[in-house]
Amino acid sequence: MPDHEETPNSAVDAAVSAARAILDETWRVVSETPYASRELGRTVDRLPDIGLDAVSRRTRDGKEILARIARVDTDLLPGDLAITLAASHTMAARWAREEDWYWLAFDPMGVGFFSMFAPAAYSGGFLLNIVHEALEKVTIGDEVTIDRYLALIDEYGRLVRQLGERTAGQADRGIIMPAAQLTRATPLFRGLKGVARGVLRAVAERSPELSHLGLVETRITAEVDPAFDELVQILESTTYADRAPDVVGMAHYPGGEEVYAELVRIHTTLDLSPAEVHDRGHARMARIREDMRALVAQVGFEGTPLEYLAYLADDPAWRATTPEEITVFFDRYIDRFAPEVDTYFGSRPRAGYGVVPLPAASAGTMTFGYYSPPQPDRDRGLYLFNAANLSRAALPMVAALNYHELVPGHHFQMATQREATQFHPIRRHAPVNAFDEGWAEYAARFAGEIGMYREPEERFGRLVMEAFLTSRLVVDTGMNAHGWTLEQAREYMRENAFMDTAEIDSETLRYSCDIPAQALAYKLGDDFLYELREELRVTLGDDFSLVGFHDAVLRGSGLPLPLVAAHVRQELTRAHPNEKAGTEGRRRFVRDSAAHVTRAERGGGR
- Judge contact between 473 and 523, C-beta under 8 A: yes
Does residue 588 surpass a pLDDT of 60? no
| pLDDT tens sequence across 188-243 | 999 999 999 999 999 999 887 878 899 999 999 999 999 999 999 999 999 999 99
Does residue 604 surpass a pLDDT of 60? no
Look at residue 597 in the predicted model and tell me its pLDDT: 37
Q: Return the exposure string of 113-139: e unless at least 16 CB atoms fall within 10 Å of the residue's CB, then b.
A: bbbbbbbbbbbbbbbbbbbbebbeebe
Taking phi first (over 0 means left), then psi (-120 to 50 degrees means alpha), and beta for anything else, what does residue 468 get? alpha
**Confidence band, pLDDT 50/70/90 cuts, at residue 589:** very low
**Confidence band, pLDDT 50/70/90 cuts, at residue 298:** very high
| pLDDT tens sequence across 469-490 | 999 999 999 999 999 999 999 9
Look at residue 393 in the predicted model and tell me its pLDDT: 87
The alpha carbon of residue 485 and the mean position of all alpha carbons in its chain are separated, in whole angstroms, by 25
Mean pLDDT of 347-353: 93
| pLDDT tens sequence across 530-544 | 999 999 999 999 999
Does residue 384 surpass a pLDDT of 60? yes
185 or 570, which is more confident: 185
Inter-helix orientation angle 256-268/521-540, to 10°: 40
Can you give the three-state secondary structure of 307-374, one letter per residue?
HHHHHHHCCHHHCCCCHHHHHHHHHHHHHHHHHHHHHHCCCCCCCEEEEEECCHHHCCCCCCEEEECC
Report the distance separating Cα 265 and Cα 102, nearest Å.
18
Report the distance separating Cα 389 and Cα 368, nearest Å.
7
| pLDDT tens sequence across 94-141 | 999 999 999 999 999 888 999 999 999 999 998 998 899 889 888 888
429 or 522, which is more confident: 522
Look at residue 22 in the predicted model and tell me its pLDDT: 98
Does residue 264 surpass a pLDDT of 50? yes
Mean pLDDT of 434-457: 97
Share of the chain above pLDDT 70, in %: 92
Look at residue 585 in the predicted model and tell me its pLDDT: 45
Neighbour tally for 383: CB within 10 Å: 24
Q: How many CA atoms lie within 13 A of 285 on its CB side?
A: 21
Look at residue 358 in the predicted model and tell me its pLDDT: 85
Q: Order of strands across the sheet with 369-372?
A: 352-357, 380-385, 369-372
H/E run at residue 382 = strand 380-385
Mean pLDDT of 21-28: 96
Share of the chain above pLDDT 90, in %: 78
DSSP structure string for 135-162: HTT--BTTTB-HHHHHHHHHHHHHHHHH
Does residue 433 surpass a pLDDT of 70? yes
Cα separations in angstroms, 354 against 332, 342, 385, 395:
12, 19, 11, 18
Look at residue 575 in the predicted model and tell me its pLDDT: 54
SS3 (DSSP) at 375: strand
Does residue 580 surpass a pLDDT of 50? no
Mean pLDDT of 401-425: 94
| pLDDT tens sequence across 539-559 | 999 999 999 999 999 999 889
Report the distance separating Cα 466 and Cα 286, nearest Å.
11
Look at residue 416 in the predicted model and tell me its pLDDT: 93
Look at residue 181 in the predicted model and tell me its pLDDT: 96
Look at residue 591 in the predicted model and tell me its pLDDT: 52
- Judge contact between 248 and 180, C-beta under 8 A: yes
Backbone angles phi, psi at 67, to 5 degrees: -65, -40
Surface-to-core class of residue 347, CB atoms within 10 Å of its CB (0-12 exposed, 13-18 middle, 19+ buried): middle
- DSSP-assigned beta bridge partners for residue 382: 354, 372
Does residue 599 surpass a pLDDT of 60? no
**Confidence band, pLDDT 50/70/90 cuts, at residue 602:** very low
